[in-house]
Chain A
Amino acid sequence: MRLRRCGTHAVLVEVDSLGEVEAVRAAVHAAQLPDVVELVPAARTVLISTKPGGLASVRRVLETVDLEHRAETDPREVVIPVVYDGPDLDLVAETAGVGPDEVARLHTSATYSVAFCGFAPGFAYLVGLPQVLQQPRLDSPRTKVPAGSVGVAGEYTAAYPRATPGGWRLIGRTDAPLFDPRRDPAALLQPGDRVRFEATS
């Protein structure tokens, strides 16, 4: 674990894997430090920003983190209904060497966890994708991916909360309410949550 300075009131914690990211995030979250303003996990880092003077208590918690073992948590489980009819379903099936129905079966058989959010409000990067569905992005990104699209890219799968440009391979769509700034909580998926997909028609 390396701590990198990030201005006067923040520290960027760098680790070697998504598992270690989750260990750091869960430990700092569990400590419920009153001065922590933002706790932002990403692929290999956790950004922690505080009110002035709050970094000392963060450093003390970081000294106690066991990167091998996640803090005991009771993750929320969220089920997302998906219609598997995405424009890249055949491409993903062909790349995986299976039929389109098997793509849906594989995608719904795994249990995922939210590694981190970013890119857009409520956009959750889910890990736990079966190996054959771990595929590259499109050569040329779409200028507009419709809201609710479900896609895969690298080791991640995700659902687009709103229409944005994007280069993920799209395998389906959901009408789950992924993000609504007037709702509490605004985002359906938060770091640490467990997620499953369910095929609907």
Chain B
Amino acid sequence: MTTTSRTTSDHRVEAPRVGEEPPADQRSGDQSSGGCVGRSVTVLRTGPQALVQDLGRPGHAHLGVPPSGALDQPALRLANRLVGNPEHAAGLEVLLGGLHLRADTACTVAVTGPCTPTLVNGVHRDSPIHLRPGDELTLGTPTTGLRTYVALSGGVALDPELGSQATDLLSGIGPAPLRPDDVLPLGTPTGIPTGVDVLLPTHVPAELDIPLLLGPRDDWFDDPATQLRQGRWAVSDRSNRVGLRLQGTPLTSAKTGELPSEGLVTGAVQVPKDGLPVIFLADHPTTGGYPVIGVVPEEALPFLAQARPGTAVRFRPQG
């Protein structure tokens, strides 16, 4: 029997308002161009947001280009493995469900992330699922968490930009958010779907206890470890793929000067003048001018991807 190491949670939180909006500039992605002619799926409807994501385009920060890519990378990797794709293949990141697709050709799909009702032609199904031409896949709203991942055999095959198909909502690089009638070309399948007996959904904790490595600018704060350990926060509804904004205890700075802008990593916890931390996620700006008190290790980032507004947050500072 194949299972994953992820466990389930039946915790429920209030339905959030998530302020994720694409930038106002023009986007260049003609969704129907490029890729492998012949295999495709058609978008019939989306929920609040559905994006093409892969593992992003790290390596271009010196040009001002964010890494982007799936926020819950283990979930996308797992979905890809289930349908026989390489882990880096492009799939869909679906915010709060609501996606409705039609298979134009036969393909295998897998749905991962938090527990999300998955229906084919109106009937509940477990991933991975084989779709015949004309079959319709519908995602309900996840019972916990925010982001569900859909992998399709062969992977989404749009033209890459800077080596990736990821949609970067800060910079407007990559395909536009999905809209009804978009046709997504799929590549040629290169592997065999692995199959699974029980696929456990992503565990979404009721309260986040986030490890944090102090630095590079912890010396801007009075007793930073104590402030971080004693503070209490909640995820703000102004959070998006750029960053998780927190509301709660303001962190007080020991310095009043200006910090020249400096490079940022994903997971950096920046403290603006109001003292309320922002944890940068994949679409973060490449540089910033407020001090970064600490950095969340990579292993903890998937939990941030699934944290609904209102989720309680504590920090566990280290070093």
Contact = CB atoms under 8 A, between A and B. Distances in A.
B29 to A, nearest CB: 10
A120 B171 contact: yes
Given A182-B159, A182-B161, A6 B216 contact: yes
Interface in B209-224: 213-217
Contacts of B161: 181-182, 186
A43 B261 contact: yes
A5 B285 contact: no
Interface string A114-133: 00111111110000000000
A117 B215 CA distance: 23
Given A118-B286, A121-B173, A6 B25 contact: no
B274 interface: no
A122 B60 CA distance: 10
B214 A47 contact: no
Contacts of A5: 213-216, 319
Contacts of B261: 42-43, 118
Nearest to A12: B216
Interface in A151-171: 162-163
Interface centre among A7, A37, A47, A116 (most CB of B within 10 A): A7
Interface residues of A, number: 38
A106 B316 CA distance: 54
Interface centre among B159, B265, B296, B319 (most CB of A within 10 A): B265
Contacts of B264: 47
Interface residue tally on B, bucketed by range? 35 or more
Contact of B63 (A7, A162, A190): A190
B197 interface: no
B175 to A, nearest CB: 11
Contacts of A46: 263
The secondary-structure label for the interface of chain A is loop
Interface string B259-299: 01111110110000000000000000111000010011110
Interface string B303-319: 00000000000000001
B88 to A, nearest CB: 15
Contacts of B216: 4-6, 12
A44 B265 contact: no
A37 B159 CA distance: 23
Contact of A6 (B28, B162, B215): B215
B270 to A, nearest CB: 12
A116 B263 CA distance: 10
A41 B62 contact: yes
Given A7-B213, A8-B297, A186-B162, A118 B64 contact: yes
Contact of B58 (A37, A43, A44, A116): A37
B262 A12 contact: yes
Contacts of B173: 121, 181
Interface in A1-38: 4-10, 12, 37-38
16 contacts: A10-B265, A12-B215, A37-B58, A41-B62, A47-B263, A117-B64, A118-B285, A119-B64, A120-B64, A120-B171, A121-B63, A162-B25, A181-B161, A181-B173, A181-B174, A186-B65
Given A120-B171, A121-B60, 8 more contacts: A5-B216, A5-B319, A38-B58, A47-B262, A47-B263, A116-B62, A119-B285, A179-B63
A-B CB proximity, top 10 nearest: A47-B263, A7-B295, A4-B216, A40-B263, A43-B260, A181-B161, A118-B287, A5-B215, A12-B216, A45-B262
